[in-house]
A and B are shown apart, each in its own frame.
Chain A
């Protein structure tokens, strides 16, 4: 049996199902992220684990104990809130010490443990400050110290990094993971930022409209998205619609604007419409006249370590990302050939809607 088990938990507000039949097992010491756009039910799920929201149906077990209807203050979980939720009228030391005080830890032990927790988040020098005297990143670390000092069986993180600026967020991601490894606490994090979820989680749970659509390792989710939604939400994807021309065993020949392409697609019928999904970094740009499709550079963006090109061609605009190897980039209006290796193509049956911008989707 897993350490933390959610079984078919559902949250209903009137007739609206905020969370439907969510089942998830988290192993001891694991770092799991709930990823999805806003309104997908990920925060509600976290709040049900925390005990702030009543579970309509289903059960939650922690270390073999049923906590479905236990009060929030008896669960002993450590929680880091999006707004940090520090006690503004208490010093950093008192903030961190609060949970130990509630557990009636003797004063001398309390001091050692508070200092240990503050040391872990590199804030030993700030014990006497008030939250208002700290920067966003420091407040975030106080919130983390306050949550882990009580040695919770499970640490819950609600969008912990979303209020930090980009550079600090990246640094804190790794620090967060580092601290989690050191302490070894089972952690569930809620985020809408896929980069955040991918870089620090052992497993990612993708949620959509109150349901779990895929649970997998970050790499697997990126390379083998199980639904259209995931391939659109997770990273950028080129989607090429085409019609099946010939079927040969598990393979099919698909016509993309007149160009035949062999793909592995068992069980499709002649004349069926398929969508081929290819990640931008898997497209290869060759000289004009080479490759599978012709194209022309319409825009290029310099991303530092990479170049992002928009290529106009017979299938509309495709995105291609190439590593910046130090040589001169392609010029705008330059004709190119677009190529890819057959193994990088993911086939979806039917036509897919235009991909929304994941960044816009997130908020």
Chain B
């Protein structure tokens, strides 16, 4: 292995700083005792964390977002696995069209999608329905899952599946015991990216959430348009904290390398 030279080390440090600085600053600001978004200079305070829990609508929105992201990511993966297998492996009429259709939400601005979905929801009388919100999010996150899965399946040596067939495995068994484990990094990576994209989505959700289904990003946006105080930083810090704990747990239990990189 080659070692980094001083210039490279300096550059890498800058990159890491650039990426981490906003997160660190937000977390620090969350502990300020002041009424403005400022770095805590006169001691630390938990008052803004306390404030979050005095806003039950924030807690409700957090659960909305969590369920929304869990459901849409999981359903998107369930849709994308067979779709990617079909698109990658078989030649059939409409294959190119289908591939384009699955990827189009990536190209269409979320603003446009939001307006379109708003009209659709109104037409079918689905305004305020959580189920339809999940459906809209699936549309947005599926392309990400598809991209990762198609990459994973393209590099797949099919003779491994043939070997399993020849040993007497049924098609279902081959999928469960061989194909799925081998594309697992693509599946889990796709699920994570889908989850993050759904949890984070603001532009489209603004149009199609109703008071009972408001997601956390929408709630924060609405709050921030009225007043800016360090409670926003506290909410962010809580989310960052939850993410860090989740990633650490995942790494401890399964090993992140195994999930995301695979066992090559």
Complex CA–CA separation, A310 to B160 (angstroms):
46
Query: Is A3 on the interface with B (CB-CB < 8 A)?
Result: no
Interface string of B214-246 (1 = CB under 8 A from A): 000000000000000000000000000000000
Q: Are A85 and B167 in contact (CB under 8 A)?
A: no
Q: Which of B163, B170, B173, B182 contacts A79 (CB 8 A)?
A: B163
Q: How far is the CB of A304 from chain B (nearest CB, A)?
A: 36
Query: Is A72 on the interface with B (CB-CB < 8 A)?
Result: yes
Q: Are A76 and B157 in contact (CB under 8 A)?
A: no
Q: Which of B159, B164, B166, B184 contacts A77 (CB 8 A)?
A: B166
Q: Are B162 and A72 in contact (CB under 8 A)?
A: yes
Q: Which of A75, A82, A87, A88 contacts B264 (CB 8 A)?
A: A88
Is the interface on chain A under 10, 10 to 19, 20 to 34, or 35 or more residues? 20 to 34
Q: How far is the CB of A230 from chain B (nearest CB, A)?
A: 30
Complex CA–CA separation, A261 to B186 (angstroms):
71
Residues of B within 8 A of A75 (CB): 166
A102-B173, A130-B263, A132-B264 known; A86+B168 contact, CB < 8 A = no
Q: Are A81 and B162 in contact (CB under 8 A)?
A: yes
Query: Is B178 on the interface with A (CB-CB < 8 A)?
Result: yes
Q: Are A73 and B181 in contact (CB under 8 A)?
A: no
- Residue ID in chain B nearest A78 by CB atoms: B166
Query: Is B175 on the interface with A (CB-CB < 8 A)?
Result: no
Residues of B within 8 A of A86 (CB): 160, 163
Per DSSP, chain B at the interface is helix
Query: Is B11 on the interface with A (CB-CB < 8 A)?
Result: no
Interface string of A316-352 (1 = CB under 8 A from B): 0000000000000000000000000000000000000
Q: How far is the CB of A191 from chain B (nearest CB, A)?
A: 17
Residues of A within 8 A of B157 (CB): 83, 85
Q: How far is the CB of A129 from chain B (nearest CB, A)?
A: 12
Q: Are A73 and B182 in contact (CB under 8 A)?
A: no
Q: Are B263 and A146 in contact (CB under 8 A)?
A: no
Interface string of A66-104 (1 = CB under 8 A from B): 000001111111110111011111000000001100110
Q: Are B168 and A73 in contact (CB under 8 A)?
A: yes
Q: How far is the CB of B187 from chain A (nearest CB, A)?
A: 13
Q: Which of B164, B167, B184 contacts A150 (CB 8 A)?
A: B167
Complex CA–CA separation, A52 to B169 (angstroms):
14
Complex CA–CA separation, A51 to B162 (angstroms):
10
- Residue ID in chain B nearest A98 by CB atoms: B167
- Residue ID in chain B nearest A72 by CB atoms: B165
Q: Which of A83, A85, A99 contacts B168 (CB 8 A)?
A: A99
Q: Are B178 and A79 in contact (CB under 8 A)?
A: no
Interface residues of A in 122-165 (CB under 8 A from B): 130, 132, 146, 150
Q: Are B162 and A83 in contact (CB under 8 A)?
A: no
Residues of B within 8 A of A78 (CB): 166
- 28 residue pairs bridging A and B, Cβ less than 8 Å apart: A51-B165, A52-B162, A72-B162, A73-B165, A73-B167, A76-B168, A81-B159, A81-B162, A81-B163, A83-B159, A85-B157, A85-B159, A85-B160, A85-B163, A86-B163, A87-B164, A87-B177, A87-B182, A88-B264, A89-B184, A89-B263, A98-B169, A99-B168, A102-B167, A102-B168, A146-B163, A146-B167, A150-B167
Interface residues of A (CB under 8 A from B): 50-52, 71-79, 81-83, 85-89, 98-99, 102-103, 130, 132, 146, 150
Given contacts A51-B166, A79-B166, 13 further A-B contacts (CB under 8 A): A51-B165, A83-B157, A85-B160, A86-B160, A87-B160, A87-B164, A88-B263, A89-B182, A89-B263, A98-B167, A102-B167, A146-B163, A150-B168
